[in-house]
Amino acid sequence: MAKNHKGFGVAPGTEGGSSTASPTTEGLSPAQRSRREFLEGTGNTVVATAAISALGVSTLNAAEQADASAAAKTSIQLSVNGTSHSLEVEDRWTLVELLRDHLHLTGTKIGCDRSECGACTVLMDGKPVYSCSQLAVWADEHSIQTVEGLARNGELSPVQQAFVDNNGPQCGFCTPGQLMTATALLNANSNPDPGQVREAMVGNLCRCSNYNAIVEAVVAAGEQGGVA
Ligand code: FES
Q: Where are the domains of the chain?
A: 73-148, 150-223
Buried b or exposed e, range 62-95, using 16+ CB within 10 angstroms: eeeeeeeeeeeeeebebbbbeeeeebebbeebbb
Rounded Cα distance between 204 and 174, Å, is 8
Most ligand 1 atoms within 8 A of CB, residue of 106, 132, 174 to mutate: 132
Asked if 73-148 and 150-223 have one fold, the answer is: no
Strands 73-80 and 143-145: parallel
Mean pLDDT, the chain, whole residue set: 82
Whether residue 117 has its Cβ less than 6 Å from ligand 1: yes
DSSP string computed for the chain: --B-TTS-B--TT-TT--TT--SS-TT--HHHHHHHHHHHHHHHHHHHHHHHHHHHHHHHHHHHHHHHHT--EEEEEEEETTEEEEEEEETT-BHHHIIIIIS--TTS--SSSSSSS-TTEEEETTEEEEGGGSBGGGGTT-EEE-GGGT-BTTBPPHHHHHHHHTT--SS-SSHHHHHHHHHHHHHH-SS--HHHHHHHTTT---TT--HHHHHHHHHHHHHTT---
Whether residue 203 has its Cβ less than 6 Å from ligand 1: no
How is domain 73-148 classified at the architecture level of CATH? Roll (3.10)
Instruction: Name the residue at shortest CA distance from atom 4 of ligand 1.
Output: 115
Which pLDDT band, with edges at 50, 70 and 90, does 32 fall under? low
* pLDDT score for 117: 98
* pLDDT score for 225: 82
**Position with higher pLDDT, 134 vs 44:** 134
pLDDT above 70: percentage of residues in the chain: 69
Asked whether the predicted pLDDT for residue 19 surpasses 70, the reply is no
* pLDDT score for 1: 40
Which pLDDT band, with edges at 50, 70 and 90, does 30 fall under? low
- Select the CATH number that applies to the domain covering 150-223 from these four: 3.40.50.980, 3.40.50.10210, 1.20.1560.10, 1.10.150.120: 1.10.150.120
Whether residue 120 has its Cβ less than 6 Å from ligand 1: yes
Which stretch of 5-19, 73-87, 170-184 has the lowest confidence by average pLDDT? 5-19
Asked whether the predicted pLDDT for residue 175 surpasses 80, the reply is yes
Asked whether the predicted pLDDT for residue 204 surpasses 90, the reply is yes
Asked whether the predicted pLDDT for residue 177 surpasses 70, the reply is yes
pLDDT digits (tens, 9 = 90+) for 57-78: 455 567 766 666 779 999 999 9
* pLDDT score for 15: 38
Rg (the chain; Cα; Å): 32
pLDDT digits (tens, 9 = 90+) for 113-156: 999 999 999 999 999 999 999 999 999 999 999 999 999 999 99
* pLDDT score for 70: 78
CB of 90 closer than 8 Å to CB of 71: yes
Longest dimension (CA), the chain: 100
User: What pTM was computed for the model?
Assistant: 0.72
